[in-house]
Amino acid sequence: MSGDLKSLVTLSDPNSAASEAYRALRTNLAFAGLDRPLRTVMFTSPGPDEGKSTVLANLAVSLAQTERRVLVVDADLRKSVLAGRYRISSPSGKIWGLAHYLSGQCRMNYIVYETNHPGLSMLLAGHEVLDSFALLDSPFFPDLMDSLRSQYDVILVDTPPVGTIIDAAIISRSCDGVAIVVKENGVSRRELAEARGQIEKVGGRVIGAVLNDVEFNQHGMKKYYYKSYYKYDSSNYGYYGASGDAGRRK
């Protein structure tokens, strides 16, 4: 993994306040799964540019730093950013991904890439597709997620914004929980409630929200991205702080 490492503050500046916030998010996710283990967590947002992919990537690094086997799944089949942002490559020059697997073009072992960070692997989106719903709504996606659960301690799934297309809601059915990333002052309470409702309507489990891009100017501190975890208050839809060639698929 190389590329835009500035966005990976957990690697570039592990002693920063932002990295500490990611460690708090890591801990809070563990507590959120006390009633049911959170092995697969999906990250989405009400709209674009909320920072969900950056949040997910930094959390993945933070989890891998605890010697867990972590897999990042890029399930944004229409507008993937992870492969380009972190310059993922393969010896053959061909990047196989989720779209290739779901369309029957390759086996599962061709779509998982190791990174240069110990314990962290990535499953990329592959080629962009227009009819992503047809691929994600097939039995192959939940079967794939079940197979991956036996190989990794934690799986983090990056998806499109839930308010844009239905893909995220479909993916949520195959995950243990969903975290919604929202930028401070970026969305209204109504938009957040609608995003939650879309996920729960199909049987997804919303475990909370990550408040992103919070600016602190107290004590001369510069602006930095501070991520903290929140649990939902179901009574009012609010939230409160909780601290080669590929073989065919077989």
**Mean pLDDT across 126-140:** 89
CA angle 143, 144, 149 (to 5 degrees): 100
Residue 223: pLDDT over 70: no
Identify whether 202 is part of a domain: yes
Are the C-beta atoms of residues 192 and 237 closer than 8 Å to each other?
Answer: yes
If one compares 238 and 138, the residue with the highest pLDDT of the two is 138
% of residues, the chain, pLDDT over 90: 42
Across-strand partners of 208?
179
Residue-level pLDDT at 119: 93
Give the pLDDT band of residue 63 (cuts 50, 70, 90). very high
Number of domains composing the chain: 1
If one compares 158 and 8, the residue with the highest pLDDT of the two is 158
**Using one digit for the tens of pLDDT, what is the confidence trace for 2-61?**
444 456 888 888 888 888 888 989 988 887 765 667 899 999 999 888 889 999 999 999
Residue-level pLDDT at 89: 65
Identify whether 249 is part of a domain: no
Residue-level pLDDT at 3: 42
Residue-level pLDDT at 102: 94
Residue 239: pLDDT over 70: no
Give the pLDDT band of residue 135 (cuts 50, 70, 90). very high
Identify whether 89 is part of a domain: yes
Residue 224: pLDDT over 70: no
Q: For residue 113, give the nearest of 94, 132, 138 by alpha carbon.
A: 94
Residue-level pLDDT at 231: 41
Identify whether 201 is part of a domain: yes
Q: Please give the residue range of the domain that contains residue 43.
A: 5-234
Mean pLDDT of the chain: 80
Identify whether 22 is part of a domain: yes
Q: For residue 178, give the nearest of 170, 187, 186 by alpha carbon.
A: 170
Identify whether 42 is part of a domain: yes
If one compares 246 and 117, the residue with the highest pLDDT of the two is 117
Q: HEC string of the chain?
A: CCCCHHHCHHHHCCCCHHHHHHHHHHHHHHHHCCCCCCCEEEEECCCCCCCHHHHHHHHHHHHHCCCCCEEEEECCCCCCCHHHHCCCCCCCCCCCCHHHHHCCCCCHHHCEEECCCCCEEEECCCCCCCCHHHHHCCCHHHHHHHHHHCCCCEEEEECCCCCCCCHHHHHHCCCCEEEEEEECCCCCHHHHHHHHHHHHHCCCCEEEEEEECCCCCHHHCCCCCCCEEEEEECCCCEEEECCCCCCCCC
State the number of CA atoms in the 13 A half-sphere of 99 facing the CB. 18
Domain CATH for 106: 3.40.50.300
pTM for this predicted structure = 0.83
Residue 241: pLDDT over 60: no
Give the pLDDT band of residue 179 (cuts 50, 70, 90). very high
Residue-level pLDDT at 33: 65
Residue-level pLDDT at 163: 78
Pairing relationship of beta strands 154-158 and 228-233 according to DSSP bridges = unpaired
If one compares 91 and 206, the residue with the highest pLDDT of the two is 206
Identify whether 241 is part of a domain: no
Distance of alpha carbon 231 from alpha carbon 118, whole angstroms: 30
**Using one digit for the tens of pLDDT, what is the confidence trace for 101-116?**
999 999 888 899 888 8
Residue-level pLDDT at 130: 80
Identify whether 183 is part of a domain: yes
